[in-house]
Amino acid sequence: MTTPDTITWEQTESGVVVLTFDDPAQSVNTMTAAWSASFAAALDRLAGLGSELTGVILTSAKKTFFAGGDLGDLLATTAERAGELTAFANGAKAMLRKLETLGVPVVAALGGSALGGGLEIALACHHRVAVDAPSIRIGLPEVTLGLLPGGGGVVRTVRLLGLDTALDKVLLPGTTYRVGDAAALGLIDRVVPDAEALIPAALEWISANPGATQPWDRGESIPGGTANTPSIEAVLPVRSAALRNRHKGAPMPAPANILCAAVEGTQVDFDTASAIETRYFVELVTGPVAKNIIQGTFFDKQVIKSGASRPEDFPTHRATFAAVLGAGMMGAGVALSCALVGMTVALKDVDLAAAERGKDYARKVLGKQVEKGSRTREDADAILELITPTASVQDLAGADLVIEAVFEDPDLKRKVFAEVLDVVAPDAVLASNTSTLPITDLARDLPRPEDFIGLHFFSPVDRMELIEIIVGDKTSDATLAKAFDIALQMHKTPIVVGDGRGFFTSRVILQRLVEAAAMVGEGVHPQSIEQASLQAGYPVGTLALLDELTLSLPLKIRGQFREVAEQNGGELAAHPGDAVLTTMVEELGRPSRLAGAGFYDYVDGKRAGLWSGLAEQFPRTELQADLTELRDRLLFAEVLETVRCHDDGILRSTADANVGSLLGIGFPTWTGGTSQFVAGYPGGIAAFVARAQELADRYGARFTPPASLTER
């Protein structure tokens, strides 16, 4: 079977060959076996031209220049196939090395984004020209996928920019730059206004630089020096410590591998440095963390955004006029998010002053963006003009989207909807931004339950990417399709879940919160709980998070679950964390950060250390805490509840679980999400079940693995 040709060839009268990447089997160009074969053949043909060849230009027929390695291939690569991956990586690098040592000037003409392997190809050229378009991005974001640039990206950026700049600006943060910023950094050499100017600019440079070579092939030193340079060597221990501190002990090996590959590579020749880079790359690809991250943050997210949860056969919908009911923190954020994508917004509250305060939030956020230079004053003013504060129902006339964002009181929510139904569009989407209240119940007395749906936003709304769409018993497929489209219109990632108290995200995070409270009651030192949270990979300590959310919130939700259980003739199993939270809220009056007192003390609203009175209220055990045990309890509490959500029909897919947990409740990135945690658990599902049972034997039935897992 022959592989398709992924590269087209054109030679000019002056002897310059233009190679255009254009894989007929894919919408983007990636480093597949077909590309490898095509590129190898093209290089052989170039080498055979001899003196007839005066230069080479690499460009693309796709919207992007080149998208890098095929993540599907990387995901499928096991430790047993490490040799195959090593050979493929070394083969690709050998081709790029052949390209940059052809003896003629080579230019990358970038009419689209060059990310990952795409930029690595461009870095193997002697000159890089890019179109100054706002959509184009330049960078090496591999670290965000748990990987490192394995096509020479580490070696070439270090030799081009210097160790410090390469690490701090490109490799470790995984930043993707606009073209102008990439040029200022040194990743791009020339910027042109449009695609038509690319090839002429490349030809001009080739004509002016017939003897072009790479700086590392001219014997030039690495900018700033090598790892043995005293000024650099002195800060290497600080760099290593900073990496450990950033990840708090969570298993995130990619940054460490990048640092090692970069530092070690400065002390050897180019080809040896390239071999070092390959070894660190293969170690990451064949390890579990990168696979988890790729699955949860890339493939599952791709599944969701492709519309897998959207009902078929409904036309694409765009909302134009949003009525936001409630101008508090959530409503204000929703209003701004709607305006940011061009919707007209009526922001309603009980009085005009309250509504104006809601618009003030948009003024503040946009004002900061203007100060930072990320938005013009004119643009900010145009967005603000779209938001109209009001206390009048009549100002909502004709709205095709209603988003209610008032307090979590079902009677109040029904009341504000009843007030507006006669004036908004007859086919308007009616959405409640509730985090726990069942949608079916909220729609009970409304005349249009088929148009009613849950849109659970996360705070701060304008920065949080996730929307949890909750489908009630009577919600129509047409309304779900509209809601899904609206979420995408707002540049959000929508997960679709079934109806039930707490839905998915609130129900799952609740388990971690009360588990941390239970640890306090057991006499575990609070600092150990926070350290275990950070070592697990959570962004903040769980007790600190409890203070942010308020300690009364999990008590309230647990109370609601208790009521539902009793109504159904059962009872909610007691959780040892309930008593701790009740004591903190009702007896000690320490409910939250907002109140100035929780598990932490606060000074002027800022965290000022754990409350010293915790030891007296909850006497400490003399046994030293096992951080691994504490970490597992926090993780397993959320993961096991995710399994129950699948069993109860709340979750419709593992993709929704993974993306929802990563984007909505801060589940650790290295796991790939709550469902992927099970799938990627060392030893498989059987090992996960065994560990869960161990925790159940020690701490209670809440850790008992559900039958759906034990049967597998």
Would you say 182 and 150 are in contact if contact means Cβ atoms under 8 Å apart?
Answer: no
Secondary structure of 450-518 as H, E, C letters: HHEEEEEECCCCCCCCEEEEEECCCCCHHHHHHHHHHHHHCCCEEEEEECCCCCCHHHHHHHHHHHHHH
For the packed helices 329-340 and 352-372, what is the interaxial angle rounded to 10 degrees? 50
Centre a 10 Å sphere on the Cβ of residue 572 and count the other Cβ atoms it contains: 15
Long-range own/partner contacts, residues 287-291 (CB < 8 A, 24 or more apart): 287/79, 287/253, 288/680, 288/682, 289/146, 289/251, 289/252, 289/253, 289/254, 289/670, 290/74, 290/145, 290/146, 290/147, 290/254, 291/75, 291/146, 291/672, 291/680
Distance from C-alpha of 426 to C-alpha of 451, rounded to nearest angstrom? 10
What distance lies between CA 684 and its chain's CA centroid? 25
Would you say 349 and 327 are in contact if contact means Cβ atoms under 8 Å apart?
Answer: yes
pLDDT at 11 over 70: yes
* 405 sits in which H/E element: none
pLDDT at 231 over 80: yes
Distance from C-alpha of 68 to C-alpha of 121, rounded to nearest angstrom? 9
Distance from C-alpha of 362 to C-alpha of 259, rounded to nearest angstrom? 40
Q: Is the dihedral of CA 240, 241, 244, 247 positive or negative?
A: negative
Rg (CA), the chain: 28
pLDDT at 4 over 80: no
- Alpha-helical runs (H) found in 127-188: 153-161, 163-165, 179-185
pLDDT tens column, 576-598: 999 999 999 999 999 999 999 99
Task: Select from 642, 311, 711 the least CA-distant residue to 484.
Answer: 311
pLDDT tens column, 301-350: 999 999 999 999 999 999 999 999 999 999 999 999 999 999 999 999 99
Centre a 10 Å sphere on the Cβ of residue 709 and count the other Cβ atoms it contains: 18
**Residue 433, CA distances (Å) to 198, 416, 452, 454 in order:** 48, 13, 11, 6
**pLDDT number for residue 70:** 84
Residue 177 DSSP symbol: E
Write down the mean pLDDT value for the chain.
Answer: 95
Residues 6 or more apart whose CB falls under 8 angstroms from that of 129 comprise 107, 108, 109, 110, 188, 189, 190, 191, 192, 198, 201, 202, 205
Residues 6 or more apart whose CB falls under 8 angstroms from that of 335 comprise 322, 324, 327, 345, 347, 358, 359, 362, 387
Centre a 10 Å sphere on the Cβ of residue 13 and count the other Cβ atoms it contains: 5
Q: Tell me the two tokens of residue 543.
A: 């007790």
pLDDT at 1 over 60: no
Q: Which residues pair with 592 in a beta bridge?
A: 597
- Rounded average pLDDT over 284-304: 96
**pLDDT number for residue 512:** 97
Distance from C-alpha of 405 to C-alpha of 557, rounded to nearest angstrom? 18
The residue type at 583: T
pLDDT at 685 over 80: yes
Residue 237 DSSP symbol: H
The answer, yes or no, to whether the previous bond of 4 is cis (omega within 30 of 0) is no
For the packed helices 253-265 and 270-285, what is the interaxial angle rounded to 10 degrees? 170
Region of residue 191 (left: phi > 0; alpha: psi -120 to 50; beta: else) = beta
Q: Which residue is listed with tokens 């008590």? A: 555
| Residues making up the chain, counted from first to last | 712
- Rounded average pLDDT over 186-215: 97
Distance from C-alpha of 25 to C-alpha of 600, rounded to nearest angstrom? 57
pLDDT at 2 over 50: no
Distance from C-alpha of 64 to C-alpha of 137, rounded to nearest angstrom? 9
* 332 sits in which H/E element: helix 329-340
Query: How is 291-310 classified by DSSP, letter by letter?
Result: HHHIIIIIIHHHHHHTTTTS
Distance from C-alpha of 79 to C-alpha of 518, rounded to nearest angstrom? 40
Residue 167 DSSP symbol: I
Query: What is the percent of the chain where pLDDT is above 90?
Result: 89
Give the model's confidence band at 252: pLDDT under 50 very low, under 70 low, under 90 confident, else very high. very high
Centre a 10 Å sphere on the Cβ of residue 48 and count the other Cβ atoms it contains: 9
Distance from C-alpha of 186 to C-alpha of 686, rounded to nearest angstrom? 50
Sheet of 55-60, strands arranged across: 7-11, 16-21, 55-60, 106-110, 127-131, 190-192
pLDDT at 632 over 70: yes
Say how many CA atoms lie within 13 Å of 508 toward its Cβ.
Answer: 29
Q: Tell me the two tokens of residue 246.
A: 């950033």
Query: What is the percent of the chain where pLDDT is above 70?
Result: 99
Distance from C-alpha of 109 to C-alpha of 88, rounded to nearest angstrom? 25
Say how many CA atoms lie within 13 Å of 56 toward its Cβ.
Answer: 30
- Rounded average pLDDT over 633-649: 97
**Residue 85, CA distances (Å) to 150, 288, 688 in order:** 10, 16, 29
Give the model's confidence band at 3: pLDDT under 50 very low, under 70 low, under 90 confident, else very high. low
pLDDT tens column, 666-683: 999 999 999 999 999 999
Give the model's confidence band at 379: pLDDT under 50 very low, under 70 low, under 90 confident, else very high. very high
Long-range own/partner contacts, residues 605-614 (CB < 8 A, 24 or more apart): 607/544, 607/547, 610/526, 610/527, 610/530, 610/543, 613/588, 614/520, 614/526
Give phi and psi for 192, each to the nearest 5: -120, 160
Task: Tell me, yes or no, if 456 is annotated catalytic.
Answer: yes
pLDDT at 700 over 60: yes
> Residues 126, 317, 456, 575: which is the catalytic one?
456
Across the chain, which distance is largest between two alpha carbons, in Å?
88
pLDDT at 534 over 80: yes
Distance from C-alpha of 207 to C-alpha of 277, rounded to nearest angstrom? 34
What distance lies between CA 582 and its chain's CA centroid? 35
Q: Tell me the two tokens of residue 611.
A: 């409350």
- Rounded average pLDDT over 647-657: 96
pLDDT tens column, 596-618: 999 999 999 999 999 999 999 99
**pLDDT number for residue 567:** 81
pTM equals: 0.93
